[in-house]
Homo-oligomer: A and B are copies of this chain.
Amino acid sequence: MEKIKKIGVMTSGGDSPGMNAAIRSVVRTCAYYKIECAGIYRGYEGMIEGDFIELNARSVKGIINKGGTFLKSARSKQFMTKEGRQKAYDALKAANIDALVVIGGDGTFTGALIFNKEFGFPIMGIPGTIDNDIAGTTHTLGYDTALNNAVEVIDKIRDTASSHNRLFFVEVMGRDVGHIALNVGVGAGAEEILIPEEDLGLERLLESLKRSKESGKSSSIVIVAEGDKTGKNVFELKDYVNEHLPEYDVRVSVLGHMQRGGSPSCFDRVLASRMGVKAVESLLDGKSNLMVGLINDKIAVTPLSKAIKGQSKINKELIRVSDIMTT
């Protein structure tokens, strides 16, 4: 393998807080090792179009605390075709880019693996997604910030809930996994938490709410993951409870995209900085097809193929803690 002289970095998939910090780290690590670095705009889409920008240590000044991604992100249908990927390869070669750091989620890594297989292009992945649903790391980039964003807003909703003795169904992100719902639920002191991994059952929810009311609890927050097992979305849940427990004054709040914005937490900034260094150093060490992750508080790498296929498991201990807290 030839020596790497220029690394391209891009963000892809849903944006997450810490992506800018990770880009900064990749750029500065390149500068440290005196190799060039190019930013690729709009993920694979910009790669195909050759929408690149030369980045040096100064270019990434003042972005460590900014949410979103200044390189922007996009989905690319073209990259799913052989022709698209060929164009991307040609564009990278034309710009003398020798290796890639891709920051994104599951879909991003799948594309990276195919690209590497076809063109032998060295690629390292950094898990940037708030959902924390990728195997090979205990924390994806942006997850910690998303938890704080959600908890902060639910604290405000709690003010209103307890002023009016109301029941709030609060929907948080997490289509397939309940990490956000479970942690936010425990962190916000929610009375119930509905996650995709467990089917609490609507009957049990009603029972629990009834008991809450009888025990004198004046207000309640129920956290619902987007993809919870009850098969009802948060508005249907409201109607259901309205029908069966008319004594409750029920409201709904869908937190939505605000969860993924905002200045990253210190944890996510530090994690991003560590991951960026490891990604670049791995490439310089001749490695490829790995994802940088955090395992047992240490930076570690996992084959991208496992990062994709694997699935992070919900913390059973935390479900138990949640049950005890809502006694």
Contact = CB atoms under 8 A, between A and B. Distances in A.
A265 B148 contact: yes
- What is the oligomeric copy number? 4
A273 B159 contact: no
Which secondary structure dominates where chain A touches chain B?
A: helix
B155 A261 contact: yes
Given A144-B267, A159-B15, A258-B153, A273 B164 contact: no
Interface in A288-302: 296-299
A103 to B, nearest CB: 12
A140 interface: no
A7 interface: no
Question: In which size bucket is the chain A interface?
Answer: 35 or more
A149 B156 contact: yes
Given A62-B162, A68-B162, A324-B32, A257 B57 contact: no
A253 B259 CA distance: 11
A221 B257 CA distance: 13
A276 to B, nearest CB: 9
A121 to B, nearest CB: 24
Contact of A324 (B65, B260, B277): B277
B258 A256 contact: no
Interface stretch (A69-77, A105-113, A192-200, A202-210): A69-77
Nearest to A253: B256
Interface string A264-305: 011101100110010000000000000000001111000000
A84 interface: no
A248 to B, nearest CB: 14
A271 to B, nearest CB: 10
Interface stretch (A87-95, A181-189, A225-233): A181-189
Contacts of A151: 65, 265-266, 269
16 contacts: A11-B163, A24-B325, A28-B325, A57-B327, A68-B158, A72-B163, A74-B164, A74-B165, A144-B266, A159-B261, A161-B257, A186-B269, A187-B266, A187-B267, A253-B257, A254-B256
Interface of A: 11, 14-15, 17, 19, 24-25, 28-29, 31-32, 57-58, 62, 64-69, 72-74, 138, 144, 147-153, 155-165, 168, 183-184, 186-189, 216, 218, 251-254, 256-258, 260-263, 265-267, 269-270, 273-274, 277, 296-299, 317-318, 320-321, 324-325, 327
